[in-house]
């Protein structure tokens, strides 16, 4: 897989710096990845730039990433190769003003917004509204699983998008990608062919300002479960999807990013050159363009 050359230097729209917990049976404990590790992955794979996301404090017990302030400090002097997205704690009253301050200090977007609140909770919407007003994109993790509910209640996403018509919103996570099929069970990562178009198709068609990243297990699984569907889906939504990995999170084969799983999968499909260019790079460039 993946023998096709890269048509453009990709932008990884979803990476982090810090520690992640391993659930791999052959790797116990935590894995820590710093700037040099991220840059080393990018050099090896040919990734030109990466969007690096912070997380709100204590939002995920299995990840300890650099805080917003640490991240802004860490990416200085790298010539824009690492693009920082920050996420204040939506539970704090000063979250919206905090985002404004971070943007003044170099933050390029809101992310990764991953909190145990509904997607239409006023505290989530308030922060998204601030991103809209500041003219920066936002990236949200949606999950409705047995262990965690993050930015859940996807059925309310249309009302949020209607309220924020000028916000460029990138979604990802199992609570989004499991809706790629109309027929879905309770699994976090459903397998088997797509049975009818799901909410994912309908929302991407309906909202010009909605995008999705294909990072981590959720995005890759949604595509890999049905190869025929994946090619059609990536073709139709080539202007709405962005390549991302969720580095340094761990995969079955090692680590997302260095394992090239997302990249090799995209390259293995017989996608038109334009679609590959859009997904690997150009949509990310459009999202990152200053408003």
Judged by the rule CB under 5 A, the positions of this chain that interact with Zn ion are 112, 246
Report residue 220: phi and psi, to 5°: -65, -45
Nearest to 259 by CA among 4, 53, 41: 41
Closest approach, Cβ 137 to Zn ion, in A, equals 15
Instruction: Report how far residue 286's alpha carbon sits from residue 148's, in angstroms, rounded to the nearest whole number.
Output: 32
Closest approach, Cβ 7 to Zn ion, in A, equals 25
Residue nearest Zn ion (C-beta atom): 246
Contact 140/119 with Cβ under 8 angstroms?
yes
Closest approach, Cβ 112 to Zn ion, in A, equals 5
Rounded (5°) CA angle 239-211-167 = 115
| Cβ-based nearer residue to Zn ion, 194 or 283 | 283
Closest approach, Cβ 65 to Zn ion, in A, equals 8
Residue 227 CA to its chain's centroid (Å): 21
Closest approach, Cβ 161 to Zn ion, in A, equals 21
Report residue 197: phi and psi, to 5°: -65, 140
Q: How far is residue 81 from each of residues 22, 49, 144, 155, measured CA to CA in Å? A: 27, 5, 33, 36
| Cβ-based nearer residue to Zn ion, 7 or 145 | 145
Nearest to 241 by CA among 207, 278, 202: 278
Report residue 143: phi and psi, to 5°: -150, 135
Write the secondary structure of 46-76 as one string of H (helix), E (strand) and C (coil): CCCEEEEECCCCCCCCCEEECCHHHHHHHCC
| Cβ-based nearer residue to Zn ion, 148 or 276 | 148
- Which tokens go with 84? 């920082």
Supply the DSSP symbol for 118: B
| Cβ-based nearer residue to Zn ion, 144 or 246 | 246
- Which tokens go with 195? 């049975």
Closest approach, Cβ 71 to Zn ion, in A, equals 13
Nearest to 152 by CA among 130, 128, 173: 173
| Cβ-based nearer residue to Zn ion, 102 or 276 | 102
| Cβ-based nearer residue to Zn ion, 112 or 259 | 112
| Cβ-based nearer residue to Zn ion, 124 or 271 | 124
Closest approach, Cβ 230 to Zn ion, in A, equals 21
Closest approach, Cβ 5 to Zn ion, in A, equals 28
| Cβ-based nearer residue to Zn ion, 120 or 246 | 246
Contact 247/12 with Cβ under 8 angstroms?
yes
């Amino acid at each position: 897989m993946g023998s096709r050359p890269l048509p453009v230097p990709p932008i990884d729209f979803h990476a982090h710096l810090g520690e992640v917990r391993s659930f791999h049976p052959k790797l116990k404990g935590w894995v820590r990845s710093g700037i040099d590790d991220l840059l080393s992955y990018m050099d090896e794979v040919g990734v030109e730039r990466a969007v690096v996301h912070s997380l709100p404090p204590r939002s995920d017990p299995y990840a300890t990433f650099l805080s917003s302030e640490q991240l802004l400090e860490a990416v200085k002097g790298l010539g824009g190769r690492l693009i920082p997205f920050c996420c204040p704690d939506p539970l704090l009253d000063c979250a919206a003003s905090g985002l404004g301050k971070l943007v003044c200090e170099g933050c390029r977007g809101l992310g990764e917004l991953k909190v145990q609140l509904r997607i239409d909770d006023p505290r989530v919407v308030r922060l998204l509204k601030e991103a809209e007003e500041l003219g920066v994109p936002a990236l949200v993790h949606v999950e409705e699983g047995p262990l965690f509910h993050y930015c859940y209640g996807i059925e309310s996403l249309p009302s949020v998008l209607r309220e924020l018509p000028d916000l460029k919103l990138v979604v990802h996570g199992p609570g989004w990608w499991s809706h790629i099929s109309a027929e879905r069970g309770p699994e976090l990562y459903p397998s088997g062919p797509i049975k009818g178009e799901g909410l994912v198709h309908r929302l991407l068609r309906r909202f010009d300002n909605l995008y999705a990243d294909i990072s981590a297990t959720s995005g890759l699984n949604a595509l890999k479960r049905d190869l025929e569907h994946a090619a059609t889906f990536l073709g139709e939504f080539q202007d709405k999807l962005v390549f991302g990995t969720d580095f340094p999170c761990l995969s079955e084969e090692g680590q997302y990013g260095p394992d090239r799983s997302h990249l090799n999968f995209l390259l293995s499909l017989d996608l038109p050159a334009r679609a590959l260019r859009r997904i690997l790079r150009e949509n990310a460039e459009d999202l990152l363009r200053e408003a």
